[in-house]
A and B are shown apart, each in its own frame.
Chain A
Amino acid sequence: MGVNATNLLYLVTIVTFILALRFLSNPAHARRGNQIGAAGMLVAIAVTFAKSGMTDYWAIAVAMVIGGGFGAVAARKVKMTAMPQMVALFNGVGGGAAALVSLAELHRILPDPGRPKIDIGLAIVLSALIGSISFAGSMIAFAKLQELIGGRPITYAGQQFVNAALFLACAAAGLALVAGWQHEWLLWALVGGAALFGILFVLPIGGADMPVVISLLNAFTGLAAAATGFELESNVLIVSGMLVGASGTLLTMLMGRAMNRSITNVLFGAFGKVTEQAAAVAAGEGGNVRSATTEDVAVMLAYAHKVVFVPGYGLAVAQAQHDVRALADLLEAKGVEVTYAIHPVAGRMPGHMNVLLAEANVPYPQLKEMDEANPEFSRTDVAVVVGANDVVNPDARSNQGSPIYGMPILNVDDAQTVVVLKRSMNPGFAGIENPLFYNPKTVMLFGDAKESIVKLAHDVKNL
């Protein structure tokens, strides 16, 4: 196939990718968008096969079957709760592929008379550097989320210094390569150093901050793909990579804002240290806590006009999504209006909680984002907090001394009554005291979240 025909067909791929993202603006046709994108990817692969001068078709096909087979099986088997590590894994392999392509490119052009042009050299260095960081960082994120290694931040003295020195060394190697000191071993050293940097950079970041890390690494792989596009003079790689880069960047910023923390603080702050202090300070506080039985709460729910569920990751850990859905069905049958208020950082990646509830067949019009949910709490009879803690902590609004002060929260205390399902009075994941529990409006329903929900459903049914 000629160059022009090839490039025009790659343009088709670019358009399908843009449509795929465009269709994601509405859950009603988001799935079709994804299918259009997949079709566009097939076009790109077919066009590349048909390109003039290609050889080794069999090797390409075999490699595709191996990789594609692994991807398909993993993607089909993964549980929705494990989605963050799956995204991290696929993200990492993409970054790894970009880094390998740049190694091969340098190997190909080096024997040529005359040095590679500066821009090609720069593209090779960038995709090798960013691709390796993304690969190694994603693998560590995967291992942390999969609990192959501890999720706690791993810190040691002089950590920032070691990371900075390593990164500068990589940057220096990159500059030397671009400036013309071109040896293959130098690029290998750069790839190795960048991979080590990726590992050291993600290790100190705690499990709760993973949403930010994953979106950032997603942006990295996109940038690496775009840089690869400059090496190979391929528009489809440049545009697609950059779309992903923009998306990952935007999501990273949104996540940071939802946690009220700067990106630098997330990446270099090692959250664990702050929270341990906060827990120690808060331990002495207290107040009156009202607890209730499931029968009491069932009556409250059944005779309410509007009930809002506020799910946190604890709900997913308890695997109680389906039971909440069953309870909501019973309430709706009694004429109660039920919605779900979802904080942007509920879950282990952006939008994770929505996926988990959708899996439990909750219709998506009932899933309300924070901005939509907050004005509604004042006309809500009962807000039911299941497995969430920090995202409903009023200290974020009013207590300047709180480590989460300034973080946007769901204002459940605007509701008539707040029911908090909780195992015990122990502080939550981040170890921060929550005055919501001592609010006169609040009743606590102690016990395992799943058991409590099942009992509630039983009691509502028997009313």
Chain B
Amino acid sequence: MSHTTLLVFEVTILVLAIFLGFEVIAKVPAMLHTPLMSGTNAIHGIVIVGAMLVLGLPHKGPFTWAVGFIAVVLASANVVGGFVVTDRMLQMFRKREPAKKPDDASKNGN
């Protein structure tokens, strides 16, 4: 595939993703907007793929190594933190009183 063909293809996907994003997000109720934000936060952690590709590059100098390493650290914090915190929030949304109160203290380790 020539570079231009690939580019056109990528732009097509980009534009479709914009419309898809608006469609899907519009259906999220205001009640869940905070989990939505932290959830999408976790999703943009996908930049970890880019960071891994940089650090995993063969024949790289110390500069690329250092930049890639920091990028992987930052992106993994983004991914793990984003999904964990979203999960913590969403588990609190319940229809009715659960059988026993969740013990936040023991779960949070403090």
Indicate if the CB atoms of A35 and B87 lie closer than 8 Å.
yes
Minimum C-beta distance from A225 to chain B (A): 5
Chain B interface residues toward A at CB < 8 A: 3, 6-7, 10, 13-14, 17-18, 20-22, 24-58, 60, 63-65, 67-98, 101, 107-110
Indicate if the CB atoms of B97 and A104 lie closer than 8 Å.
no
Choice from A63, A76, A234, A248 contacting B69 with Cβ under 8 Å:
A63
Interface status of A440 (Cβ within 8 A of chain B): no
Q: Scoring A residues 56 to 84 as 1 if CB is less than 8 Å from chain B, else 0, what string do you get?
A: 11011001111111111011111010010
Minimum C-beta distance from A356 to chain B (A): 9
Q: A54-B56, A71-B80, A72-B81 are in contact. Are A363 and B97 (CB under 8 A)?
A: yes
Indicate if the CB atoms of B46 and A44 lie closer than 8 Å.
yes
Report chain A residues within 8 Å CB of B48.
41, 44-45, 48, 97
Sample of 20 A–B contacts (CB below 8 Å): A10-B49, A18-B24, A22-B27, A30-B35, A31-B90, A41-B42, A53-B56, A68-B77, A71-B84, A104-B68, A218-B40, A226-B17, A236-B49, A237-B46, A242-B14, A242-B21, A244-B21, A349-B34, A351-B35, A361-B101
Indicate if the CB atoms of A218 and B41 lie closer than 8 Å.
yes
Indicate if the CB atoms of B52 and A60 lie closer than 8 Å.
yes
Q: Which residue of B lies closest to A45 (CB)?
A: B48
Q: A45-B52, A57-B56, A246-B25 are in contact. Are A24 and B80 (CB under 8 A)?
A: no
Most buried by A among B47, B88, B109: B47
Indicate if the CB atoms of A83 and B65 lie closer than 8 Å.
no
Indicate if the CB atoms of B40 and A76 lie closer than 8 Å.
no
Number of interface residues of A (CB under 8 A): 118
Choice from A83, A241, A351, A370 contacting B85 with Cβ under 8 Å:
A83
Report chain B residues within 8 Å CB of A22.
24, 27
Minimum C-beta distance from B21 to chain A (A): 3
Interface status of A98 (Cβ within 8 A of chain B): yes
Choice from A10, A53, A347, A359 contacting B92 with Cβ under 8 Å:
A359
Report chain B residues within 8 Å CB of A41.
42-43, 45-46, 48, 79, 83
Indicate if the CB atoms of A97 and B33 lie closer than 8 Å.
no
Q: Which residue of B lies closest to A364 (CB)?
A: B93
Report chain A residues within 8 Å CB of B69.
59, 63
Q: A55-B58, A77-B110 are in contact. Are A68 and B76 (CB under 8 A)?
A: yes
Indicate if the CB atoms of B81 and A86 lie closer than 8 Å.
yes
Identify 8 new A-B residue pairs, CB closer than 8 A, beyond the known A67-B73, A354-B34. Answer: A30-B90, A63-B69, A71-B76, A101-B50, A104-B67, A236-B49, A238-B10, A364-B95
Report chain B residues within 8 Å CB of A107.
63-64, 67
Indicate if the CB atoms of A355 and B43 lie closer than 8 Å.
no
Choice from A27, A49, A89 contacting B52 with Cβ under 8 Å:
A49
Report chain A residues within 8 Å CB of B58.
53-55
Indicate if the CB atoms of B40 and A93 lie closer than 8 Å.
no
Whole-angstrom CA separation of A80 from B82 in the bound complex:
14
Choice from B56, B93, B96 contacting A55 with Cβ under 8 Å:
B56
Report chain A residues within 8 Å CB of B38.
83, 86-87, 90
Indicate if the CB atoms of B46 and A225 lie closer than 8 Å.
yes
Q: A59-B65, A94-B41, A359-B92 are in contact. Are A18 and B20 (CB under 8 A)?
A: yes
Indicate if the CB atoms of B87 and A34 lie closer than 8 Å.
yes
- Which 5 A-B pairs have CB atoms at the shortest separation, nearest pair first? A246-B21, A351-B33, A71-B81, A67-B76, A71-B80
Indicate if the CB atoms of B21 and A237 lie closer than 8 Å.
no
Whole-angstrom CA separation of A248 from B55 in the bound complex:
29
Whole-angstrom CA separation of A351 from B92 in the bound complex:
14
List residues 94-121 of chain A with CB under 8 A from any CB of chain B: 94, 96-98, 100-101, 103-105, 107-108, 117, 119
Indicate if the CB atoms of B83 and A37 lie closer than 8 Å.
yes
List residues 240-271 of chain A with CB under 8 A from any CB of chain B: 240-248, 250-251, 254
Minimum C-beta distance from B107 to chain A (A): 7
Indicate if the CB atoms of B55 and A60 lie closer than 8 Å.
yes
Indicate if the CB atoms of B74 and A246 lie closer than 8 Å.
no
Q: Which residue of A lies closest to B32 (CB)?
A: A24
Whole-angstrom CA separation of A231 from B30 in the bound complex:
35
Most buried by B among A67, A74, A231, A248: A67
Choice from B28, B37, B81, B101 contacting A218 with Cβ under 8 Å:
B37
Indicate if the CB atoms of A234 and B49 lie closer than 8 Å.
yes
Indicate if the CB atoms of A63 and B44 lie closer than 8 Å.
no
Q: Which residue of A lies closest to B98 (CB)?
A: A361
Whole-angstrom CA separation of A218 from B25 in the bound complex:
14
Indicate if the CB atoms of A71 and B40 lie closer than 8 Å.
no
Indicate if the CB atoms of A243 and B20 lie closer than 8 Å.
yes
